[in-house]
Structure 1
């Protein structure tokens, strides 16, 4: 079983903006709070060779890259 790691400095996770939006419909998919990052949709997809993680937009169903990396 693998592990999902937040991409950051180890202590906290950083997102460039307060919210990461879907490039298709502009819905908020990832929101940065004080000490955590919330992904507003639980459907995640992992690209096994790279470990990149994407989340399905709840509004338009497009796949959006999120600040997570799958290690496993």
Structure 2
């Protein structure tokens, strides 16, 4: 399930109900997500439990511009 919330920050919640990725598997995809979030001034947390699902939660600040705003 994917949920997107936008306000002062953009938060994207990605949740699965499958088995967590085994420790011996390369986690480059999650590492790349975290790196991209940091490059945009945000964070990305990944949590989960063995035998349960995984939650990937990137969060970044947003700046809202209105049409015609040249700032």
TM-score, normalised to structure 2, is 0.27
State the structure with bigger RCO (CA 8 A, min sep 6), 1 or 2: 2
Larger Rg: 2
